[in-house]
């Protein structure tokens, strides 16, 4: 399976040679549990996934060779550490052999590993065929023995410390230098640095009780990682990273009820049912959703493993059933219900069933500071390792999260495991996502630390903690969220005006002793002045009371004059009264990147290289991360081959793996259409339209020979269709296809399909697959399949045409504009930012229309569509804008919209305002990051004319009107919140009543 990937005709490259980093497709994918961290996750923080000292298993085995090549370079401390640890493994093997009294046991270990070699290799997501069998067995042996010896020594050194012995007298530097032991601890957690637990169990389960009476391997491991009491005896884990996940996920299971009468009720019901039928009938009587909780052991059938405690479990499960009809549901039953719903959503889709279109994820949640301002209370739950969040009676109960220096490493590796192995049970990812919504800035961190929810052990600043939480979720794909229901209830509580008003009253008027006293005094003053005023009016009208003889007269003079001369109250009103707010070579030689000047009059060109003036701002946004399509990045495959075997270059390895994947998809698609005849027909069609396909690209493709070009288009086209078919119809079961088994890889491919430089002309896809798709999916066309894949159903008219997928992404946005508006316009010369416009009386209103660009300004209100700012929005907008700059320079409506946003947003204050109004949905964390992203989007963009120029003129005119600004200032200063509003009303009433009293007194004196 040779492929010519270089433009030089004499270069033939083979990709089927065993090499580190290449994917493989085992016959038993159910064993796969140790993965290479996907590039989209690794690129955020590569160090969090890379061993610092200890290399375990085959995924980093090639680093040992690199370390040997640098053994003379003492400045490369990491590689020197790898070499030292390899020598240390040999010493540990010898010492462990001495523990067992000879070499026979080591030979027995070697024999066991050899017997289980195939299963061990199947546990890794990448092919280990490049490691010969003897070396592989030797590697697993040394790594396994090192781990067990390390755990045993740790226990021994702990005893020495307790006895007061001097550890430095020993010979082992790992335990003499605690920093080295901590580094080994961290390396043992890394996902890429794991050994399958089953082989450790098989090797050492018979040995550990001999060396440590009353100890098992499992107990030794759990004790070392301090997980005693945090994991059930029957829980299973696949390796150490999975163990760290397991202790957290198990906290989601509802705890046993404490009420003894519930046990008796459950027992009575259990006995009653037992007398009526067999255990099979009892099994049927239980609700289906109770049969498999997240942490129960299940086999391939999905049914729980039977155990001797089965009926006791039935007893406990019977208890909640008696209270289902009660009006008030306890939080435990709600927790169980969330867990049932989450699991039932997974089990309801079998193999071959279509994935749900709208999975229950958190689409929006207010941050901690906002929730606190609406009366949500925060309470820390001191349950170590817990991720169980509850919301009861306006109180959000969140487990304490310790933030030591290694917290990010632990969480990132657990999340990477969930993304690869538990994509639909990613409970730790869900928890981090929930935290990410709560934490936007350092103010949110300070609030959570004040309430004991965050405990900063690493002495990081609040800004650093916020940045860490906000970046933890970058690149993560969330298919569903365990906390979606809680987020919905929290948002509903915040949006309830009664809760917000009650909170404002409590905090504005009784926030502290000073404010409370002032509120009471002002109330009494207002009440007494009112009584005086009424008495004065009655006295003047009826002459029933003498002028100075009543008790009211005693209070009249001081209370009438004090408000007029009080500087304190004037200060409250005046504190916000500020109204101003190369070398020349042969150019005739065909090479990648040279412009194309087509001779034919028909202009097919629609796929462009992004201009450097735009690309240089953020090159990653235009570069494929995993999948290369078409000729513009074809030369990157040759460059990737130069890094063949370099496992640190994950992007290049991804390119090579995808080239092999295209061949597999081509073979699988040939099976779908029953034979090679259809593929040959595709090849013939591509050959016939080769000239038009080449003319679709802005650069010359003459450097790619005709046969290679046709083969490239064929493989890429079939890959696109096969990928869309699989992503639409594959079930939840493991298939052996990494793209379908790991949603983070699937999402990366979807992102690469949108990139401007990574496109295939849509006409060739339509010509190839329009006759085929209806035979594979009845009553569906290729166009409908594509639109459904990108979730654009109902967003585009049936007669709309697009040239490729980037054009499709643009089209769904442009079609939200009125047709009459799509003409030549003037550019925006100037517009005030959102914060200034707000101070000038411009109101902002969010319009909940997805993908819309339609902005209106009516009656002083700027109505704008919601913009969700997530990890993908910059990539999508940049590629659509680059396409408009090259292909639609005079109809660049997406560019116009982004520049309009750029005028509105200068700083985080503008983002704060737009987020508060619901115009921006911030999914990336700090508002300053949103402002920075928007400000950079317009760099390098040339705006010939803007659809929004007239709106900008209207907005500026409204702001420049002094009447509007004065009205806005009055409203902001005197009625900015309930405190100032009430103070304004109270002062006005006092002034009116004092005026009334004064006039009444004057009239009374004159009459007398």
What does the pLDDT average to over 715-719? 97
CB-CB contact of 825 with 947 (8 Å): yes
* Among the ranges given (128-132, 254-258, 743-747, 916-920), the one the predictor scored with the smallest mean pLDDT: 254-258
In whole angstroms, give the CA distance from residue 936 to residue 615. 12
Mean per-residue pLDDT of the chain: 80
178, HSE (Cβ side, Cα atoms, 13 Å): 4
Rg (alpha carbons) of the chain, rounded to whole number: 35
For the purposes of burial, counting CB atoms within 10 Å of the CB of 482, is it exposed (0-12), middle (13-18) or buried (19 or more)?
buried
* Among the ranges given (297-306, 482-491, 532-541), the one the predictor scored with the smallest mean pLDDT: 297-306
Q: Which residues pair with 402 in a beta bridge?
A: 455
212: left (phi over 0), alpha (psi -120 to 50) or beta: beta
Provide the pLDDT for residue 464.
Answer: 87
CB-CB contact of 426 with 419 (8 Å): yes
* Among the ranges given (119-133, 574-588, 929-943), the one the predictor scored with the smallest mean pLDDT: 574-588
For 515-564, the pLDDT digits (tens) are 667 777 777 777 777 777 777 777 665 554 444 444 444 334 343 334 33
CB-CB contact of 32 with 125 (8 Å): yes
Q: Is the dihedral of CA 604, 607, 611, 612 positive or negative?
A: negative
DSSP result, 705-759: -HHHHHHHHHHHHHHHHHHHHHHHH--SS--S-HHHH-HHHHHHHHHHTT-GGG-
Structure tokens at 200: 């450790």
Whether pLDDT at 702 is above 50? yes
Provide the pLDDT for residue 417.
Answer: 96
pTM summary value: 0.77
CB-CB contact of 133 with 117 (8 Å): yes
Whether pLDDT at 752 is above 90? yes
What does the pLDDT average to over 511-518? 66
In whole angstroms, give the CA distance from residue 535 to residue 546. 11
CB-CB contact of 838 with 964 (8 Å): no
- Of 456, 617, 470, the residue nearest 928 (C-alpha): 470
For 977-991, the pLDDT digits (tens) are 666 677 778 778 888
Provide the pLDDT for residue 255.
Answer: 52
Alpha-carbon separation of residue 398 from 385, 387, 415, 515 (angstroms): 11, 8, 19, 31
CB-CB contact of 929 with 466 (8 Å): no
CB-CB contact of 298 with 292 (8 Å): yes
What does the pLDDT average to over 468-494? 91
H-assigned helices in 844-926:
873-887, 893-904, 908-916
* Among the ranges given (409-413, 625-629, 672-676), the one the predictor scored with the smallest mean pLDDT: 672-676
Whether pLDDT at 503 is above 60? yes
Q: Which of 11-25, 73-87, 617-631 has the highest mean pLDDT?
A: 617-631
β 395-399/390-392 pair status: antiparallel
Whether pLDDT at 12 is above 70? no
Dihedral (C-alpha) 970, 972, 976, 981: value to the nearest 10 degrees?
A: 0
Going by pLDDT thresholds of 50, 70 and 90, the confidence category of residue 347 is very low
In whole angstroms, give the CA distance from residue 806 to residue 790. 11
**DSSP letter, residue 50:** S
For 35-61, the pLDDT digits (tens) are 999 999 999 999 999 999 999 999 998
Provide the pLDDT for residue 111.
Answer: 95
Number of H helices, E strands in the chain: 46, 12
Residue 450's CB is within 10 A of a number of other CB atoms, namely 11
Instruction: Give the rounded percent of residues in the chain with a pLDDT score beyond 90.
Output: 48
Residue whose token pair is 């299973």: 236
In whole angstroms, give the CA distance from residue 38 to residue 744. 7
């Amino acid at each position: 399976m040779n492929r010519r990937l270089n433009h030089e005709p004499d270069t033939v490259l083979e990709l089927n040679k065993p090499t580190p980093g290449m994917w493989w497709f085992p016959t038993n994918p159910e064993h796969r549990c140790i993965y290479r961290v996907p590039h989209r996750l690794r690129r955020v923080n590569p160090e969090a996934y890379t061993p610092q000292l200890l290399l375990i298993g085959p995924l980093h085995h090639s680093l040992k060779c690199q370390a040997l090549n640098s053994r003379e370079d003492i400045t490369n401390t990491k590689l020197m550490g790898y070499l030292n640890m390899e020598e240390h493994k040999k010493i540990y093997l010898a010492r462990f052999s001495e523990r067992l009294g000879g070499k026979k046991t080591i030979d027995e270990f070697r024999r066991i590993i050899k017997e289980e070699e195939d299963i061990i290799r199947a546990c890794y997501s990448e092919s280990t065929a490049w490691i010969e069998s003897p070396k592989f067995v030797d590697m697993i042996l040394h790594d396994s023995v090192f781990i067990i010896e390390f755990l045993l020594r740790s226990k021994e050194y702990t005893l020495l410390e307790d006895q007061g012995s001097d550890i430095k007298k020993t010979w082992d530097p790992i335990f003499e230098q605690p920093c080295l032991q901590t580094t080994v601890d961290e390396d043992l957690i890394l996902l890429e640095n794991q050994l399958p637990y089953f082989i450790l169990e098989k090797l050492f389960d018979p040995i550990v009780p001999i060396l440590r009476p009353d100890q098992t391997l499992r107990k030794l491991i759990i004790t070392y990682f301090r997980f005693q009491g945090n994991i059930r005896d029957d829980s299973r884990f696949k390796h150490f990273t999975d163990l760290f996940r397991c202790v957290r996920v198990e906290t989601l299971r509802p705890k046993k009820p404490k009420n003894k009468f519930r046990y008796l009720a459950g027992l009575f019901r259990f006995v009653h049912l037992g007398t009526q039928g067999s255990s099979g009938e009892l099994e049927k009587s239980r609700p289906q959703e109770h049969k498999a909780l997240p942490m129960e052991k299940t086999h391939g059938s999905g049914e729980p493993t039977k155990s001797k405690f089965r009926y006791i479990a039935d007893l406990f499960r019977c208890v909640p059933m008696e209270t289902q009809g009660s009006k008030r549901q306890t939080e435990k039953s709600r927790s169980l219900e969330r867990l049932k719903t989450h699991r039932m959503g997974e089990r309801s889709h079998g193999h071959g069933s279509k994935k749900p279109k709208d999975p229950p994820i958190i689409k929006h949640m207010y941050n901690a500071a906002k929730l606190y301002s609406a009366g949500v209370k925060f309470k820390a739950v001191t349950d170590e390792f817990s991720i169980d969040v509850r919301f009861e009676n306006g109180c959000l109960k969140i487990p304490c999260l310790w933030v030591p220096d290694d917290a990010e490493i632990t969480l990132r590796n657990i999340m990477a495991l969930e993304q690869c192995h538990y994509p639909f049970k990613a409970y730790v990812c869900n928890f981090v996502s929930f935290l990410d919504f709560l934490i936007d800035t350092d103010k949110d961190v300070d609030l959570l630390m004040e309430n004991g929810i965050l405990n900063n052990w690493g002495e990081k600043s609040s800004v650093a903690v916020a940045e860490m939480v906000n970046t933890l979720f970058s690149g993560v794909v969330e298919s569903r969220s365990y906390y979606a229901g809680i987020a919905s209830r929290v948002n509903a509580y915040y949006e309830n005006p009664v809760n917000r008003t009650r909170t404002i009253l409590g905090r504005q008027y009784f926030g502290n002793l000073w404010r409370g006293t002032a509120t009471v005094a002002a109330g009494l003053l207002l009440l007494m002045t009112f009584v005086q005023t009424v008495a004065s009016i009655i006295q003047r009208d009826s002459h029933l009371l003498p002028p100075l003889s009543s008790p009211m007269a005693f209070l009249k003079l001081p209370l009438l004059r004090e408000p007029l001369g009080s500087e304190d109250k004037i200060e409250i009103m005046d504190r916000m009264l500020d109204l101003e707010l190369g070398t020349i070579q042969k150019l005739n030689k065909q090479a990648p990147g040279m412009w194309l000047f087509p001779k034919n009059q028909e202009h097919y060109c629609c796929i462009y290289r992004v201009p450097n003036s735009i690309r240089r701002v953020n090159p990653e946004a235009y570069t494929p991360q995993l999948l290369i399509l078409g000729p513009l990045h074809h030369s990157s495959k040759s460059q990737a081959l130069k890094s063949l075997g370099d496992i640190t270059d994950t992007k290049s390895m991804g390119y090579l793996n995808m080239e092999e994947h295209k061949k597999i998809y081509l073979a699988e698609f040939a099976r779908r259409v029953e034979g090679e005849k259809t593929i040959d027909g595709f090849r013939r069609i591509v050959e016939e339209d080769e000239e038009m396909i080449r003319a679709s690209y802005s650069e010359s493709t003459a450097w790619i020979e005709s046969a290679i070009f046709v083969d490239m288009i064929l493989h890429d086209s079939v890959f696109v269709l096969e990928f869309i078919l699989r992503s639409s119809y594959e079930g939840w079961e493991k298939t052996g296809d990494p793209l379908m088994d790991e949603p983070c890889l699937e999402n990366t491919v979807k992102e690469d399909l949108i990139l401007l430089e990574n496109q295939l002309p849509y006409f060739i896809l339509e010509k190839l697959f329009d006759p085929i798709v209806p035979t594979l999916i009845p009553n569906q066309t290729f166009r409908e399949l594509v639109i459904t894949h990108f979730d654009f159903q109902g967003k585009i008219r049936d007669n709309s045409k697009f040239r490729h997928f980037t054009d499709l992404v643009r089209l769904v946005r442009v079609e939200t504009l009125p047709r009459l508006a799509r003409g030549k316009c003037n550019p925006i010369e100037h517009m005030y930012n959102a914060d200034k416009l707000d101070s000038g009386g411009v109101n902002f209103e969010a319009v909940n229309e997805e993908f819309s660009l339609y902005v209106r300004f009516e009656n002083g209100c700027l109505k704008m569509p919601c913009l969700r700012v997530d990890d993908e929005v910059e990539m999508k907008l940049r590629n659509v804008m680059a396409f408009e700059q090259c292909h639609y320079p005079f109809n660049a409506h997406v560019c116009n919209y982004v520049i309009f946003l750029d005028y509105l947003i200068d700083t985080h204050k503008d983002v704060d305002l737009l987020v508060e109004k619901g115009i921006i949905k911030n999914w990336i964390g700090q508002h300053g990051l949103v402002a920075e992203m928007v400000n950079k989007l317009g760099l390098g963009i040339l705006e010939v004319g803007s659809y929004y120029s007239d709106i900008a003129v209207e907005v500026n005119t409204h702001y420049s009107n002094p009447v509007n600004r004065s009205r806005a200032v009055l409203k902001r200063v005197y009625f900015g919140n309930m405190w100032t509003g009430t103070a304004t009303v109270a002062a006005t009433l006092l002034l009116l009543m004092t005026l009334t009293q004064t006039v009444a007194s004057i009239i009374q004196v004159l009459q007398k």
